[in-house]
Amino acid sequence: MSLQLTPSDLPCKSFFEYACSKNKTVYPMIGQNLKNGVVKHLVDELAARNKQFSAKTKALNFFQSCKHYMNIDICYEQFFKYFRSLLAYVALTSQVTAYDNNIFNTVKSRFLHAIGKVPLFTGTKAKYDIDRKFEIIEKRKEYLNIDVMNSEYSKLSINTTKEKTFEIVVAIGLYLHQSHDKPISYFYPSFNVHLWKDLYYDVLNNETILNDVIECLQLPESMSMEDKRTAASYFEAIESSWNEFAEWLDESDLTDKVNDQENLHLREYNLNTKRLFFIIYAQSLCHHGKTIVDNILVEGLKHSSEFASTFFCSEGSPMNPEGKCETPI
């Protein structure tokens, strides 16, 4: 981790500037923008494996040819662009991922347990879609084995349901590989919060419920209705994900010990697991740009008492205004 945060009141004034502009990304997000060192590791592992198949041969030939004409870093970037599915195949079938897969499944199980206690989500399309997504992920190795062996390149355009499903599995595979040795506070604001968002987005298709949340959040008139729905979904999602994270922190002496160990490591970066939770959440959205992130991220987080206490934001500051919106759903 290369991030070094210095104590300041910047997160209480502009959390976008703090998380997205002034500091480096803490971790790559959910299968996107793998660092070349990670790609190199996966390419080397692919080449070292005895198993031979057409897609592997063509990918490695592409890489060797590229090195004759281009800078090595460009070749790694090109390999990631065209052969993401091969990299995910390596990641999902490696020993390194076993520990992270266990944490992933723990977070997944806790999420399913949490939504099972909320009558609001019973029978929703999003709940069904997430159940199906998990069924697909459970079969990911077999799925990738079949498709990777029979495809020359990763799909660059995702059009059919099968291709979208394949892309989900690829993204999760790369995410799990990136998650190696990450603190538990990495999983809740990256993977978990986006699962909650999918659920709330479906529920907020109800105009009455959506308008109640929009009014509570006092979202700007200039925002489109689609952006308002997305902002409202993330507002509800971050609250639910935080509650899950907080429950994990208080669950037992063991989780308390794990959290203490993570905080000991994070201290040299002027971080703790609670700050990291909000930073990773923000950085999973940074690529959308300031306007969208301010609408989606800031408009929600400024109503979060947990955010204000975590960053010691004084009352009345931009990220800790009076008259906060209590979660209306």
Residues 145, 150: Cα–Cα separation, whole Å: 9
What is the radius of gyration, based on Cα positions, of the chain? 21
- Model confidence pLDDT, tens digit, residues 123-149: 665 555 656 555 655 555 554 554 555
> Residue 170 has what pLDDT?
66
189 and 301 Cβ atoms separated by less than 8 Å: no
pLDDT score for 289: 79
pTM attached to this predicted model: 0.69
Chain position carrying tokens 């959910």: 30
Residue bearing tokens 């998650």? 179
Structural fold of domain 1-27+183-329: Collagenase (Catalytic Domain) (3.40.390)
Q: Hey, what are 66's tokens?
A: 């590229």
The parts of the chain modelled with pLDDT lower than 70 are 1-8, 22-34, 95-105, 120-185, 327-328
pLDDT reported for residue 77: 87
Q: Are 180 and 96 in contact (CB under 8 A)?
A: yes
Whether residue 115 contacts residue 134, with contact meaning beta carbons closer than 8 Å, is answered with no
Domain with CATH 3.40.390.10 in the chain: 1-27+183-329
Residue 199 contacts residue 52 (beta carbons within 8 Å): no
Core vs surface per residue 125-154: b (16+ CB within 10 A) or e: ebbeebeebbeebeebeebbeebbeebeeb
Q: Please report the pLDDT score of residue 63 as a whole number.
A: 92
pLDDT of residue 310: 92
Cα distances from 325 to residues 116, 205, 250, 302, in angstroms, run 25, 20, 25, 9
Contacts of 219 (CB under 8 A, 6+ apart): 228, 231, 232, 295, 299
